[in-house]
């Protein structure tokens, strides 16, 4: 809470003096950000922030904050999407009697397994896909993916040979896939950029570009740190678009999406946010705020060493204002292995629910051991009300979510939820809603999950892929008699 106050002051200060975005854009961005509409907040800033080295500190801090939240949210969405997609496609690939098999499910399931790091299973499904009667360009996509599996399994020569064979492909899909592997594995940034820049020109002004192409382009731009071009892809195309629609003669159709998309977007946001914060931090008035944001960003993305380095550096700064120092100390646990420092922070601040709450949520984000911290907070939670209770319950809920104790997570996250506007992001932190939806999904309460995604997808089009996957699982899992009653 205190940190948000500090941040808010900095933002107001920033736009009053230095902003180089138009005041209307800044105001729109601030209004949207206040309503948790992170995507709407970002859009008016894109033209200004794309070249973040030239952004003034005030705009940099505002845009950086918007992007940190966007990055955090999309990282959570990405994890959820991979998990939901694997659940869905696992069921879809198991053909039962009376069921028309899906041809493309094997390709997309293989990709989802690859994202999860299950390379051997992924290989199995790519090979199954190659035996099917499908357009050649999709076979080529599967071959690129098989190369990725080989690379991951340390068979790099085999991977390179597979990719080389496909080098002359004219297919947009295959070219984008090859550009991705060029940048990600072969380090041929120049060639990768050349290809995706060409693709960007080819698809300019086109609607319904396959999300496979879009995510590959974003991934390449991330790898080569050309975030400006990456942001252009987002600004110019519908990221909720499908990757492939399988339409059978019997009237059945299945939409497939790219499971990497949300993660690639999260990484793009992280990259831009980091650059913006670095630029803003060059102005001494914003340095502390920018560094603090950078610590959070590093923790969210698992860059613990970077986070720890910044924490140590800030704590050794004698001139650091006390409120900021307090905020940094909350994150001090990241500097050591094990739970000791997290627990000490809690012990030193046991009367301050907000500090304990933030310590727990940071501890959870850092994937540390947070059992004792959580215990302490649960005791505090018993006597809290109002806004404090929302933050505390949210932290505890996310702890149980990380522990995969879904019913408990639901209890606490529900306690933190605004009941009147239960699915509205304007009234609830979107990350809380994502956590709650995930807990409900695991607890087989799919309709509660889907309601959340339905509202979220209005602001975040990439959520569409999660909606479709959860709908698919729900359609197979539901067991009921077909009842309907008048209210």
Partner 1 sequence: MNRKYLSTLTGVAVAAVIATSGIANAADDNSLRYGEFGRPATLDPVTSNDMISLRVTELLFNGLVGINEKQQIIPELASKWSSDSEGKEYTFELRKDVKWHPKPGKEPELFTADDVVYTFNMMMHPKTITPLKVRYEFIEKVEKVDDNTVKFVLKRPILNALAKFTFKIIPEHGPKNPVFLTREDPFVQSPIGTGPYMLKEVNSDREVILAANPDYFRGKPQISEFVAKPFADQNIMNQALTFNAIDMIVLVNPRHLPELQGDKRFVLQPYNALSYSFFGYNVRHPHLQDKRVRKALTMAIDREKMLKSFFNDQGTLISGPFAPGSWAYNLDVKPEKFNPDEAVALLKEAGFTQGAGGIMTKNGQPLKLTLKVPIAKESESIKRVVLAFKGYLKRVGADINVEFQEWLAWKDDVFQKHNFDVVFASWVFDDSADISSLFHSAEVGAWKNNFGGYENRKVDSLIAESKLTLDHEKRRSIYRKLHAVLADEAPYTFLWTLTNYSAYHKKMRKVAIHPYKFFSFADQWFIAKDVAMTDQN
How many chain residues touch partner 1 (CB under 8 A)?
Answer: 53
Q: Using alpha carbons, list the distances in angstroms from residue 146 to 119, 151, 214, 246.
A: 9, 9, 20, 22
205: contact with partner 1 by CB under 8 A: no
**Residue whose entry in the numeric block shows the structure tokens 């920018």:** 290
92: contact with partner 1 by CB under 8 A: yes
- Which of 99, 109, 280, 326 is in the footprint of partner 1 by CB under 8 A? 99
Least separation in angstroms between residue 381's CB and partner 1 is: 11
Which residue, 358 or 464, is less far from partner 1 as judged by CB? 464
174: contact with partner 1 by CB under 8 A: no
- Which of 24, 170, 249, 479 is in the footprint of partner 1 by CB under 8 A? 479
Q: Spell out the long-range contacts of 242-248 with Cβ–Cβ below 8 A and sequence spacing 24 or more.
A: 242/210, 242/211, 243/108, 243/210, 243/211, 243/212, 244/104, 244/108, 244/138, 244/210, 244/212, 246/102, 246/103, 246/104, 248/100
Q: Distance (Å, rounded) from C-alpha 274 to C-alpha 435?
A: 25
Which residue, 205 or 487, is less far from partner 1 as judged by CB? 487
| Tally of CB atoms within 10 A around 396 | 28
Closest CA to 152 of 192, 107, 113, 193: 113
Least separation in angstroms between residue 437's CB and partner 1 is: 11
Residues 100-129 touching partner 1, rule: CB under 8 A, are 100, 102
169: contact with partner 1 by CB under 8 A: no
Q: Distance (Å, rounded) from C-alpha 118 to C-alpha 432?
A: 29
User: Using CB under 8 A, which of the segments 43-51, 202-210, 335-343, 413-421 binds partner 1?
Assistant: 413-421
Q: Distance (Å, rounded) from C-alpha 270 to C-alpha 193?
A: 20
Q: Using alpha carbons, list the distances in angstroms from residue 147 to 114, 183, 277.
A: 11, 14, 37
Per-position x/- string for 455-474, each x denoting binding to partner 1 as judged by CB under 8 A, each - no binding: x-x------x--xx--xx-x
31: contact with partner 1 by CB under 8 A: no
User: Using CB under 8 A, which of the segments 210-218, 279-287, 339-347, 419-427 binds partner 1?
Assistant: 419-427
Give the bridge partners for 254, in sequence order. Answer: 246
Which residue, 105 or 280, is less far from partner 1 as judged by CB? 105
445: contact with partner 1 by CB under 8 A: yes
Q: Is residue 253 classed as helix, strand or coil in its secondary structure?
A: strand
**Residue whose entry in the numeric block shows the structure tokens 């120049």:** 190
Residues 381-410 touching partner 1, rule: CB under 8 A, are 385-386
Tokens of 404: 């995969």
451: contact with partner 1 by CB under 8 A: yes
235: contact with partner 1 by CB under 8 A: no
97: contact with partner 1 by CB under 8 A: yes
User: Using CB under 8 A, which of the segments 13-21, 98-106, 273-281, 346-354 binds partner 1?
Assistant: 98-106
Least separation in angstroms between residue 449's CB and partner 1 is: 8
424: contact with partner 1 by CB under 8 A: yes
- Which of 131, 157, 205, 483 is in the footprint of partner 1 by CB under 8 A? 483
Phi, psi dihedral angles at 245 (to 5 degrees): -110, 120
Least separation in angstroms between residue 212's CB and partner 1 is: 20
Closest CA to 39 of 430, 487, 467, 459: 459
Residues composing the chain: 487
Least separation in angstroms between residue 92's CB and partner 1 is: 7
Phi, psi dihedral angles at 256 (to 5 degrees): -115, 145
Residues 306-345 touching partner 1, rule: CB under 8 A, are none
Which residue, 342 or 446, is less far from partner 1 as judged by CB? 446
User: Using CB under 8 A, which of the segments 163-171, 172-180, 395-403, 479-487 binds partner 1?
Assistant: 479-487
- Are residues 352 and 384 in contact, defined by beta-carbon separation less than 8 angstroms? no
Give the bridge partners for 253, in sequence order. Answer: 247
Which residue, 118 or 414, is less far from partner 1 as judged by CB? 414
Q: Distance (Å, rounded) from C-alpha 425 to C-alpha 72?
A: 15
Least separation in angstroms between residue 353's CB and partner 1 is: 15
Residues 237-296 touching partner 1, rule: CB under 8 A, are 250-254
Q: Distance (Å, rounded) from C-alpha 238 to C-alpha 208?
A: 7
87: contact with partner 1 by CB under 8 A: no
The residues that touch partner 1, with contacts defined as CB under 8 A, are: 92, 96-100, 102, 250-254, 385-386, 414, 418-424, 443-451, 454-455, 457, 464, 467-468, 471-472, 474-487
């Amino acid at each position: 809470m205190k940190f948000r106050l500090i941040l808010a002051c900095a933002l107001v200060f920033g736009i009053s003096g230095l902003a180089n975005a138009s005041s209307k854009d800044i105001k729109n961005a601030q209004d949207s950000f206040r309503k948790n509409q992170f995507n709407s907040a970002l859009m008016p800033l894109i033209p200004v922030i794309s070249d973040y080295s030239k952004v003034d500190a005030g705009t940099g801090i505002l845009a950086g904050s918007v992007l940190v939240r966007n990055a955090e949210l999309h990282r959570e969405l990405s994890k959820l999407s991979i998990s939901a997609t694997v659940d869905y496609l696992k069921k879809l690939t198991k053909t039962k009697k009376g069921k028309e098999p899906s041809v493309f499910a094997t390709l997309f399931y293989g990709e989802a397994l690859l994202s999860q790091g299950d390379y051997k299973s992924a290989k199995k499904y790519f090979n199954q896909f190659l035996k099917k009667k499908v357009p050649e360009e999709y076979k080529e996509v599967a071959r690129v993916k098989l190369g990725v599996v080989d690379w991951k399994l340390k068979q790099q020569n085999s991977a390179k040979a597979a990719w080389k064979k496909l080098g002359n492909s004219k297919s947009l899909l295959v070219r984008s896939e090859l550009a991705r592997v060029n940048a990600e594995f072969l380090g041929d940034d120049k060639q990768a950029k050349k290809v995706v820049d060409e693709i960007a020109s080819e698809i300019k002004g086109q609607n319904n570009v396959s999300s496979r192409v879009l995510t590959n382009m974003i991934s390449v731009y991330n790898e080569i740190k050309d975030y400006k071009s990456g942001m252009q892809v987002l600004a110019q195309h519908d990221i909720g678009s499908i990757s492939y629609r399988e339409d059978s003669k019997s009237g059945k159709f299945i939409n497939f999406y790219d499971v990497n998309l949300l993660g690639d977007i999260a990484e793009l946001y992280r990259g831009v946010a980091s650059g913006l914060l670095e630029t803003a931090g060059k102005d001494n008035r914003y340095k502390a705020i920018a560094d603090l944001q950078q610590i959070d960003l590093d923790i969210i993305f698992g860059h613990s060493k970077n986070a720890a380095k910044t924490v140590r550096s800030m704590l050794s700064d004698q001139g650091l204002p006390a409120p900021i120092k307090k905020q940094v100390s909350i994150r001090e646990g990241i500097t050591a292995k094990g739970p000791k420092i997290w627990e000490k922070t809690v012990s030193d601040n046991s009367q301050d629910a907000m500090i304990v709450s933030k310590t727990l949520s940071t501890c959870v984000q850092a994937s540390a051991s947070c059992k004792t911290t959580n215990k302490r907070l649960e005791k505090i939670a018993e006597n809290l009300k109002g806004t404090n209770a929302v933050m505390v319950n949210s932290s505890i809920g996310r702890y149980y979510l990380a522990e995969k104790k879904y019913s408990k997570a639901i209890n606490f996250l529900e306690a933190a939820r605004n009941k009147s506007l239960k699915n509205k992001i304007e009234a609830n932190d979107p990350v809380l809603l994502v956590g709650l939806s995930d807990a409900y999904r695991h607890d087989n309460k799919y309709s509660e999950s889907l309601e959340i995604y339905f509202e979220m997808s209005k602001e975040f089009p990439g959520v569409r892929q999660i909606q479709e996957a959860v709908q698919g699982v729900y359609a197979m899992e539901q067991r009921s008699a077909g009842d309907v009653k008048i209210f």
